[in-house]
Amino acid sequence: MTHIEPILPLQNASDTEIQKILTENALVLTVSEARKMGTLLGRNPTLTEATIFSIQGSEHSSYKSSRKALKTLPTEGKYVILGPKEDAGIVELCEINGQKYGIVYSHESHNAPSQIVPYEGAATGVGGICRDIACMGARVIGCLDGLRFGNAQKLENQVIARGVIDGIAGYANPLGVPNMGGDIFFEKSFDGSTLVNVVALGLVQESDILHSYVPKNGATEKYDLIVVGKPSDRSGFGGASFASMVVNMEEKEKNLGAVQEPNPFLERHLLASFQDLFLELKKTGDLQRIAMKDMGAGGIMCASVELVDSAGFGAEIQVENIHVGEENLPPHIILCSETQERFCFAVPPDLTEKVLYHFNVKWDFPNVSPGAMASKIGFVTQNPVYRVTYKGTVICEAKAEDITAGLLIDRPFVLPKPEETEQTLSSDDFLSFGTDFPTAFSKFLISFLSRPNLADRSVVYEKYDQTVQASTVLERSVSEAVVVAPLRDEENLSEEQQKIGFSVSIGGSPRFGKTSPYVQGAMAVLTALQKVVAVGGLPRAMTDCLNYGNPEIPEDMGKFLDGVKGVADGAKNIHLLEDPSESTPFISGNVSLYKQGNPSAIVSAFGVVPDVSVAIGNVPKDGQSLFLIGERRSELADTEIFSSLQKTGGKVIPISLAFFQKAESQMQFFHKAYNKGFFSSSAVIDVGGMMATFLQMCTRSEMGFTGDFSRFSLPELFSEGNGFLVTTNLPELFLEFANEAGIPVTLLGVFQKNSEVIHGGMFQISKTELLKNWKTGLREIL
């Protein structure tokens, strides 16, 4: 039976009539975008075409509001093998015997789905980011997560947090991918707008890299398009559009269909079968003849149109050839649903049967998961038109470029102007905890460290498998950035070569974004880079996820632009330690708009660790002296201390070129001192300031301490960001080294294993009581 495709009568319709048509068909287009779609097509669109433009024209898929701003980020460098052009970026790890080993590195968000269905939303986020890595030809070796939840005291947020954490574990663990690190933050602005950002990494030799665009000869040879994996169903349909709108929790049931259903066991089978296929094709010299792409937002449509448009080609797609998991699915759903655990291949015709046999027979997909298989769905054309048919009817015929970039827009914006006050800290702020300041301050600090944003995180990461694949050297529980040795199982390498590894981190306090998106973005970059340096790493690249508000509101669009400028300035002005002439590049990233919480750039940094056997963690040892590197500032706007005391206002960090130069010089000094073997442990001053960072070192090591912090003002103790606390067994030599380098360092005291007391001059705390509160602060909530 011939299919009858609905035509949407948009031409000559009034704005009211167009809006009614858009609403009736669940199309996330504005009236002006619908009119532009008609102009591009030169006629009324079919339902399938309108669905395609709605999905590909969303912020999530096309970056229609953000592309111009993202071009301000540095993306090139001597260690960049592949920048942010495809599903993932690639940075050089090392070169051995003329062969470069690259780390495939990507960043994604699954914010809206995780708010609606926490377990499934977070789980499919992990699955999607791992597929982004695999489709570049890499073996997936790890993932990280950046989690932001609302007020920790609200039961709803606790339930969401538990669901998200379980979802991450429930996918990554059976997938056999270690969860290497991440961070978690609770802030009331995220009530109803959870952020789940995920990062993944993979290992690939440069000669084995695959690409997500059809090769130059793809059209003349009429490359075939093959879909591999789970059958199309309704799950996830409209997910890209759903991620590009303000989530209405009152319509939760309606939104459930936009959340995909996870199957990590099928994905594990997929990834293993890919590695086997890559090995076969490499042996026959055919590996570089194929292209592949993960199937995420927009499903088969998005993957296939982007594969061909990136090469300037078009495609012919036959929807009836797509394997489905439900009967009577409309063609626009078959084509555009975001069913998980799928990839799209572009292969030359002489390899088509080999690829189909590989998945359907050798790896027996139909018997591994119901309906799973590999299907040929179409072919590449020289004509740059994306043409789709269903049962003999043309349901889409549009220029591929119009689909992927036809609805770009320059939105009006209003840049934010931070409102600062003279609000600060004094001893009176702590007297509710005791009659005299030393007693009150000591009691406050015990309570302070039990706050959800400062307490022990083991309740989260104990659910994750952190050491599967046996390449993790330093875990998140003992290190500022996880340290990994991905070459350990490369049998053809020497013992020294196998010690070459990397460190990877996540940074970005969401509180700073409340007053200054610029400061938040810049500090996210700096904190992520410092964490990599703190373990002995040499930063080489970054990824980001930019979580901001509704771009249709000029004030929110202004906050986004301000935040991106902060991220860009941080990257441009913090140079590589290995080459001070090179800015730190972003090689991958993601933009997630329509979010209701504070503007939040979450940044991940990657660095090479030349010898993982000498990398250092953040756990002090008995008898070691504690030093502060650098000087402390006194700005307290949007900090944990102000939140704990329910204070608002204050001064924001004044970021300038001089600020970046000072931070960079501290990092350079740190690495020089690290190379001389001065440090036994180090920690980056982050949320809660120097005082929280110090107390966390005490709890992680279960050490007492004798020293003096009274030389610092209260604001200096709690100001956040930009600084290191380090321990050494050579205090006199280290102090002499710092003086020669012109870097200010301050001796704070000595850690003592047998002491029950943490004595800091202006406070005296029971080690046992502090440890008990720190260990239970987050566990009681989650």
Instruction: Count Cβ atoms below 10 Å from residue 685 Cβ, excluding itself.
Output: 24
Q: Distance between CA atoms of 276 and 282, rounded to whole angstroms?
A: 10
Residue 341 CA to residue 273 CA, distance in Å, equals 13
Nearest to 621 by CA among 685, 700, 528: 700
Q: Which residues pair with 374 in a beta bridge?
A: 228
Sign of CA dihedral 653, 657, 660, 661: negative
The whole-angstrom distance between residue 296's C-alpha and the CA centroid of its chain comes to 16
Quickly count: other Cβ atoms within 10 Å of residue 379's Cβ. Answer: 20
Gap between the Cα atoms of 717 and 429, Å rounded: 14
Active site residues: 60, 110
B/e letters for 720-758, b = 16+ CB within 10 Å, e = fewer, are bbbbbbbbbebbeebbebbeeeebebbbbbbbbeeeeeb
Q: Compute the Cα dihedral for 506, 510, 515, 516 and give only its sign.
A: positive
- CA–CA distance, 774 with 330 (Å, rounded to integer): 54
Q: Are 574 and 540 in contact (CB under 8 A)?
A: no
Torsions phi, psi of 140, nearest 5?
-70, 130
| Helix ranges, 202-348 (H) | 239-242, 252-255, 264-283, 299-309, 331-336
H/E element, 83: none
| AA letter at 52 | I
Cβ–Cβ under 8 Å, residues 136 and 202: yes
3-state SS of 493-556 is: CCHHHHCCEEEEEEECCCCHHHHCHHHHHHHHHHHHHHHHHHCCCEEEEEEEEEECCCCCCHHH
Q: Distance of alpha carbon 334 from its chain centroid, rounded?
A: 29
Among candidate residues 523, 546, 558, the one with its CA nearest the CA of residue 686: 523
The residue among 693, 530, 675, 534 whose CA lies nearest residue 616 is 534
Q: Which residue has the tokens 């720190």?
A: 774
